[in-house]
Amino acid sequence: MRLDHLCVNHFREPLGYDLQAPSFSWIVLESISERQAWARLQVFRDVDCIYDTGESSVLDSLGTELPLELAPRTRYRWRVTVRGDGGDRGEAESFFETGKMGEVWKGRWISPGEARNAVLEKRFTLGETPDSARIYITGVGFYRLFLNGKPASDEVLTPGLNAYDRWMQVQTFEVGHLLQKDENLIEIWLGGGISRGRFSYTEADGYEYCPYDCAIAELRVLSAAGEETVIATDDSWRWHTSPIVESSIYDGEIWDPGRETESGAVRLCQPPVGSLRDRLSPPVKAVMERNPLCLLHTPRGETVLDMGQNMVGWIRFRVDAPKGRTLRLQFGEQLENGCFSRANLRTAKAAFTWRSDGVSRIAEPFFTWYGFRYVLLEGFDDPVDVADFTSCVVCSQLEETGSITTGHEGLNKLIQNVLWSQRGNFLDVPTDCPQRDEREGWTGDAQVFADTACYNMDCAAFFTKYMADMGEEQQKADGCVPYVVPFARNRSRGFEGGAVGWGDAAAVIPWTLWLHYGDKALLKRQLPSMRAWMEWVAARKDWATACRHFGDWLALDRQEEPGERVGKTDVGFLCLCYAFYSAALTAQAAQVLGEEGLSRRAQALADGYRDKLRREYFDPAGELICRTQTACVLALHLGLSPEPAQTGRQLCALVDEAGHLTTGFLGTPWLLAELPQKEAYELLLREEYPSWLYEVKLGATTIWERWNSLTEDGCFSETGMNSLNHYAYGSVAAWLYRHMCGVQPLAEAPGFRIFRWEPKPDERIGFALCRLRSPLGEIRSEWRYEEKGLSMLLAVPFGSEVRAALPDGRKAVLGPGEHRFLLRV
């Protein structure tokens, strides 16, 4: 038996993360046993065991919370021992280290005052080479930390994007190896990020969180003899200008390394931000580097790099230009008529400008990112050497846990495109899009995509941070959920939120995490937010008119009003569906957590919504009077239809009548699941507009915002708002995992402790192979049409149990191990 994936709060060896309620998890591999007979957790501080569960049959490998009293800035070791029911045994160790845990800071907030994008610096000496050192640091907006000229970490866009007015995330870095005896230099580069500058609807020189840049840090250096030296930010620090002349998330950056530097003494300050807390965000890094596919010379005479893939991040390139030359890169997603286009970026300039000082160097932006496939080069020597350019794919570093390969090329491309859209938009916040003047954590998009996201990647920690922010934002508005989280637009617009299907992210995402990861600690953290949202909705007399709604956003069933983006499904109907859904999920979550009173209240609300919906939206013959595909899909999926068979027929008739899907953001994720298998595959495999494969046919490498973001000629459609990297419609991937490959987590034993296996094979696809690194280990589901018949395989990990339903009607309960079937076709 081997134990792997030892995590605390879903992080391996976390350093300085929020560990107030530590939850321990592990995966058992290579065991002769089927399940855990007992496990034991021990936690050590130095050599002292501070907690020992003893051998216990109830410790849950998906998440066991221990009531530890932890000290700040302290490293703990932990050991897990597991004995299997077959008699084998495994043991493994890991560690975690606490951050400042709210202790008083020695460092003070310091700022370069009016100077923007400046560098804060401090020179100091050390009597000897340090044994170890940690730095605790955060900044408003973004910062990059260098020690003796070297980056303190490979993380970028620190401290992340969150509700700064409520809390600031503190990072902890291990930096001993960067320090030396005698002279040392610490530098903190600052940029506006989402705090200051143009973000959301703010004017160019406006700000959302703080009008000036600032940082706070505490470097603690330990000598071999155990003596501690603390270098903290204070008024002895200096600032100087950096080469960054302008930095903006939407517009990009301008660098001028040869410009005259100014410098001065820093000011102590008290930025209008929330409390300093240990971080929750998984690190954002350049997780991949790619070379350009080719260099293009367009009919307009432009020189354009084609990366061959729509991606998010930036370009790192070699500068070797004479002094005074300006080099400029502009980023775009599409060529129109063979020429570079940025027609879909709205006001975002998305550029990187470098004014050469004649020194040859490697250049890359610091505090921005771009969504691009094509890069227009200006000012570079001719011929351009493609080898001088590398693209850095920047996103939250999450383990990619799921993959599907089929015998259908178009489908494989679609699956890859979904993954690329997730990589591109899971950048600390689940953003709607990465390229235009938006890039915000739209709650509706995140909610409809969450299930797919959790199959594709381990999103437990990523969503934990997003949901923590959502809870913070709700406290500003009586439980109401803003349209975007963090709500970095409060200064300019006032609070905006409450939209149906968007605000419901508060209930849907925690429940999705529970289904996929089975960690009660996550659910417990979010229950107050679920409840607050449910109560906010319950307190509206008429939710449908209480705020701005986005309806079934971008649905195609309102063609007679081309500018209308909310679709035809009645908003009142959507409100009842989602009020029911969120209340029902809250009832279940409360039940799991033993909150009986809340569970009863939530269930009563849910029942009330269901009854009202049936009274108001179904005629006496059981016909749904809101005649849209999305209305049928929601009524069926949520179990709200009094006559499901009839609603199912209604849905098929509507699809037939249109000849294709017409669903928007809210109907699309569940559409295929509510259609009979044959009809579902017809929509999935359709290549004409509108469909998923239409965009694949047109060469898409990510998921588009609209079904017709591009027209057949490869140009942006006239609808406006055409992101080519918008994951919402990529939610179809959940259907591929759940139904095509048949792997579905079950609420009765989440985290794949018990799961359903009910694949729906289709001969046109030939085969489907799904691998999923579930929290219990790898699940493999495979079906393949062969001469001898349909062969199927399921590999079940240790500790898991399966309810299998085969296409020939056979049913079985399966345990860990490999199971093979051959079906006659």
Shortest reach from residue 116's CB to ligand BGC, in Å:
28
Contact 215, 268 (CB under 8 A): no
Shortest reach from residue 578's CB to ligand BGC, in Å:
15
Shortest reach from residue 333's CB to ligand BGC, in Å:
14
- Which one, 19 or 703, has the nearer CB to ligand BGC? 703
- Which one, 331 or 550, has the nearer CB to ligand BGC? 550
Q: What angle do the packed helices 409-425 and 443-456 form, to 10 degrees?
A: 120
226: left (phi over 0), alpha (psi -120 to 50) or beta: left
* Cα separations in angstroms, 659 against 652, 653, 654: 10, 9, 8
Choose among 558, 586, 573: nearest CA to 719.
558
- The pair phi, psi for residue 252, each rounded to 5°, is 95, -155
d(CA 590, CA 606): 13
Q: Who contacts 647 (Cβ-Cβ below 8 Å, separation ≥6)?
A: 622, 624, 632, 635, 636, 641
Contact 566, 551 (CB under 8 A): yes
Shortest reach from residue 505's CB to ligand BGC, in Å:
11
- Which one, 208 or 432, has the nearer CB to ligand BGC? 432
- Which one, 253 or 445, has the nearer CB to ligand BGC? 445
d(CA 94, CA 71): 18
- Which one, 483 or 798, has the nearer CB to ligand BGC? 483
Shortest reach from residue 692's CB to ligand BGC, in Å:
17
- Which one, 550 or 681, has the nearer CB to ligand BGC? 550
Token readout for 16 is: 């300085």
* Cα separations in angstroms, 286 against 173, 283, 410, 533, 637: 17, 10, 28, 36, 39
User: What order of strands is seen across the sheet that includes strand 48-52?
Assistant: 15-17, 89-98, 75-84, 36-45, 48-52
- Which one, 256 or 437, has the nearer CB to ligand BGC? 437
Shortest reach from residue 673's CB to ligand BGC, in Å:
22
Shortest reach from residue 481's CB to ligand BGC, in Å:
13
d(CA 511, CA 582): 10
- Which one, 433 or 577, has the nearer CB to ligand BGC? 433
- Which one, 438 or 758, has the nearer CB to ligand BGC? 438
Token readout for 457 is: 């990647």
642-651 LR contacts (CB < 8 Å, sep 24+): 642/614, 642/618, 643/618, 646/622, 647/622, 648/674, 648/676, 650/623, 650/624, 651/675
- Which one, 144 or 568, has the nearer CB to ligand BGC? 568
Shortest reach from residue 459's CB to ligand BGC, in Å:
19
CA 57-61-62 angle, 5° bins: 130
- Which one, 548 or 820, has the nearer CB to ligand BGC? 548
Q: What angle do the packed helices 520-538 and 571-592 form, to 10 degrees?
A: 140
- Which one, 159 or 572, has the nearer CB to ligand BGC? 572
- Which one, 380 or 553, has the nearer CB to ligand BGC? 553
Shortest reach from residue 470's CB to ligand BGC, in Å:
15
Amino acid 73 reads R
d(CA 422, CA 416): 10
d(CA 694, CA 417): 13
- Which one, 342 or 739, has the nearer CB to ligand BGC? 342
Shortest reach from residue 699's CB to ligand BGC, in Å:
22
- The pair phi, psi for residue 280, each rounded to 5°, is -120, -25
DSSP letters for 274-300: -EEEEB-SPPEEEEEEE--SEEEE-TT
Helix and strand tally (H, E) in the chain? Answer: 15, 44
Radius of gyration of the chain (CA): 27
HEC string of 420-451 equals HHHHHHEECEECCCCCCCCCCCEHHHHHHHHH
* Pairing mode, strands 275-278 and 118-126: unpaired
Tell the residue number behind the tokens 């609300």, with chain if given. Answer: 605
- Which one, 256 or 438, has the nearer CB to ligand BGC? 438
Q: Who contacts 745 (Cβ-Cβ below 8 Å, separation ≥6)?
A: 515, 516, 518, 751, 752, 755
Shortest reach from residue 232's CB to ligand BGC, in Å:
42
Contact 115, 242 (CB under 8 A): no
Interface with ligand BGC by CB under 6 A: which residues? Answer: 432-433, 438, 442, 444-445, 550, 553
